[in-house]
Structure 1
Amino acid sequence: MTLLSWIKKQLNIITPSIHPAEHRRHARHMDYHRKKRVKFTEPNSASKPEAPTKPQPDTQNQNDELNGERPTVTAKQATSGPAANSRVIFSYLDEDDAPIGQSDILNGVAGEPIHFKIPDFSDYYLTEIDNFTATFDSQDQEITLHFARKEGLPVMVYAMDTDTRTILQSVQLLSGKLGKHYSVTAPEIDGYRLTSSAGQTYGNFDNQTHGIVFYYRKSNWRVVQPVTYYVKLTANHQVFGDPGGQALRTGLPANVIIKIFARIDTTDDVSWLNIGGSEWILNANLEPSDLPSYALVADITKTSRNPVRLAGTISFVPGKSIALFDQPYGNQVGSLADGSRVSISATIVDDQDLIWYELADHRVVPQRYLKIDQ
């Protein structure tokens, strides 16, 4: 045995050997402080997470503090928890601060942008927004959107002579907000009495234009009766522009056979006969007659025609049509609705200074029913 072998043998006797099992046990136990630091700094590790355990004091950090040294904390160790959630409530109010729709609620994370589209309320338009914000806050927020009602389309009120179809006063326009109630009463017009009306005199303003026509008759016209017959004049007759109105320059001679279109009896017991258009004679000095087989006299009314090149619009009553004639005081040969566009080829002036417009298709219309372009 050599000296080196003897010394080694003596050391084995003094220091117990470490059994393999004990060595493996020590190998399994990693440094505690190192193991904790790895788990904290790698929260997104791909390894399967362990069950949570009660945190143990960091002995190394405590020793550092005892030695007067400040422990080092990494950025990931100082990271706070998830961002706070919040919500935004959107309320919709009208001019009276009454809700016009159910409130909307959006949930989000503080600091994130708000993505929101203002809803469409068909009868309202947006006027202002209270507490406007573009991002979620750490606290709940409420945004109030104020709306006002839109204006409805107007209601137009007309006053018309039911016998002559002339407008008696300027058209009245009523306006209001959508859904607002309206009620119309017939205006009082001197010298006339109301006979009837057309159109809804009450309702709510909406997205349509409404027309109301009040029809009037002269107060002293007791009876108005459309008729069709012929009479023979037994004496010369004056012709009037209206019953009881001014006499025209041209009269009718005796023995003329003419057609009667209407009869009017006034409150003073005077009877008038319409002989066409705006021409009237007294119901006197005449007798019934048959339709003549030949023309007894020439045309009563003389006219002058002047070629022109104009354009215009039929101006009558919305939704109504006017009659068109083959010549002044002639036969009706059609009609045109209010608002129709027309081309004018000539103006016709009769010997009573009444003006007619001849259209491009040679039909004529009284001047008062046509508005010429400026």
Structure 2
Amino acid sequence: MSFFDRLKTMLRALNQPAKTEHQTSQPADVVAPTSETDEHALQASATDALLLVHHLDSDGHELQAPDMIGGKIGEEIHLPAATIAGYHLVRIDGLTRWFTQPKAQIVLHYERQAGQPIWVYAYDIDQRELIGHPTMYRGQLGKPYRVKAPTVAGFKLLRSVGDLTGEYTTTSKTVLFFYRNENWLQTDLSTGFVQITAVTAVYPYPGATTTRYLTKLQPGSTYKTYMRVRLSDQTTWYSIGQEQWIAEQMLQLTTGVALLPHLPAGYRTQNKRQVQQTGIVSFVPGKKVHTYLEPYGRYLSTVTHGETVELVERLADDNRVVWYRIKGRGYLPGRYLTHLDPPYA
């Protein structure tokens, strides 16, 4: 049942007088008025009547051409369905059940439906974490929006990803703003090793002058680093863990050989020989696998699944693990190679 059908049903019910216990039924062939309104309906004249139905938005603008409904004075009015995409009906002015005058109007008032939100996030590009709480923009469908970068104390804006302007639609949108600590001039991810040259304190962030860490690093100890930062005062700091930083003047770069795992106890190469073969890397589709400087050694490079490589050496150790050396790219376990050509060398 449509909205207007429900309205007419409610109006009809209100027009029916309540029966009392003294009222009796009349014969079926006798038709008597039950209310003043029904008397008016029975007295419908031949006078033409025209009703205009307007559809207005919250600013009073017509959303579509007015509906024209014709009839005779005294006849019942049948309103059209009031469905307009993106709007919902909030009020009706001049609603009536009957044609009562030659010219009349009914005004339907609509509001624009709300669009899906625009979510805004501030993101620390170096620490890879959100800064503060997300911001949500809301508005009506079709209305324009303009997103502004949040001001984040202690950070400078680098760039944004997402539409900064547009219209609210039925689909939610996301805008990311990337920031960097205002005292950080340059950063790079560092996966190398450093060796401590003097007793060194560990600080919670680059440039800190006090620390909550009681333990100090000893000379000669070696640590893996994850990030290097150069500050506005031209000092450089290395991260050796979450919220653990050491100053560059207290260390020197190293290969980190001391941290590499020892070779298996039974490791000894045998059947080591030069080969001239090709093979196809078999790992995970779309992924890369590491090659090694030497068997069981440190990472040297990577090769891609499905890549054809040139093999120049083959060896096996006491654990019966077969290794191939890829020309100019280090060693790779034989289990990651298929379609050797020729099959044997």
- The alignment's TM-score, normalised by the length of structure 1, stands at 0.53
The 3-state SS of whatever aligns with 1:228 is coil
Shift of 1:82: 7.0
- Residues 154 and 182 of structure 2 are in contact (CA less than 8 Å); yes or no, is this contact kept in structure 1? yes
Q: 2:252 aligns with which of 286, 295, 299?
A: 286
> Which one-letter code corresponds to 1:143 in the other structure?
I
**In structure 2, distance between residues paired with 1:156 and 1:221:** 27
* Correspondence for 1:40: none
* Correspondence for 2:153: 190
**In structure 2, distance between residues paired with 1:229 and 1:97:** 68
Shift of 1:257: 2.1
**In structure 2, distance between residues paired with 1:138 and 1:195:** 68
* Correspondence for 2:94: 131
* Correspondence for 2:171: 208
* Correspondence for 1:104: 67
Residue 222 (structure 2) pairs with residue 253 (structure 1): no
The 3-state SS of whatever aligns with 2:46 is coil
Structure 1 residues 254, 117: closer, same or farther in 2, change over 3 A? farther
> Which one-letter code corresponds to 1:247 in the other structure?
T
Shift of 1:264: 0.5
**In structure 2, distance between residues paired with 1:251 and 1:258:** 13
Residues 60-109 of structure 1, C-alpha deviation per residue, up to 9 Å, x if partnerless? xxxxxxxxxxxxxxxxxxxx997333232211111221111122122223
Shift of 1:224: 0.6
- Residues 123 and 176 of structure 2 are in contact (CA less than 8 Å); yes or no, is this contact kept in structure 1? yes
Residues 220-279 of structure 1, C-alpha deviation per residue, up to 9 Å, x if partnerless? 111111122122223332222211235242433232222111110011011011123332
Q: 1:122 aligns with which of 57, 67, 85?
A: 85
Q: 1:162 aligns with which of 125, 133, 143?
A: 125
Shift of 1:207: 2.3
**In structure 1, distance between residues paired with 2:125 and 2:98:** 67
Residues 119-150 of structure 1, C-alpha deviation per residue, up to 9 Å, x if partnerless? 21222121221211112235132111111212
Structure 1 residues 81, 114: closer, same or farther in 2, change over 3 A? closer
- Residues 232 and 289 of structure 1 are in contact (CA less than 8 Å); yes or no, is this contact kept in structure 2? no
Residues 195-227 of structure 1, C-alpha deviation per residue, up to 9 Å, x if partnerless? 111221111122233222211111111111112
Higher-Rg structure is: 1
**In structure 1, distance between residues paired with 2:60 and 2:100:** 26
1:1-374 equivalent positions in 2, closer than 5 A: 83-245=46-208, 246-249=210-213, 250-284=215-249, 285-291=251-257, 292-294=259-261
Output the aligned Cα RMSD. 2.4
**In structure 2, distance between residues paired with 1:251 and 1:106:** 89
Residues 156-185 of structure 1, C-alpha deviation per residue, up to 9 Å, x if partnerless? 322222111333333333222222211122
**In structure 2, distance between residues paired with 1:264 and 1:81:** 90
Shift of 1:188: 3.1
> Which one-letter code corresponds to 1:264 in the other structure?
V
Would you say how many aligned residue pairs link Structure 1 and Structure 2? Answer: 216
- Residues 45 and 72 of structure 2 are in contact (CA less than 8 Å); yes or no, is this contact kept in structure 1? no
**In structure 1, distance between residues paired with 2:45 and 2:232:** 95
The 3-state SS of whatever aligns with 2:203 is coil
**In structure 2, distance between residues paired with 1:166 and 1:260:** 19
> Which one-letter code corresponds to 1:269 in the other structure?
Q
The gaps in structure 1 that reach 5 residues or longer are: 1-79, 296-374
**In structure 1, distance between residues paired with 2:234 and 2:78:** 81
**In structure 2, distance between residues paired with 1:210 and 1:238:** 45
> Which one-letter code corresponds to 1:147 in the other structure?
Y
- Residues 234 and 287 of structure 1 are in contact (CA less than 8 Å); yes or no, is this contact kept in structure 2? no
**In structure 1, distance between residues paired with 2:190 and 2:76:** 80
**In structure 1, distance between residues paired with 2:230 and 2:198:** 21
The 3-state SS of whatever aligns with 2:218 is coil
Shift of 1:280: 1.6
- Residues 160 and 168 of structure 1 are in contact (CA less than 8 Å); yes or no, is this contact kept in structure 2? yes
The 3-state SS of whatever aligns with 2:90 is strand
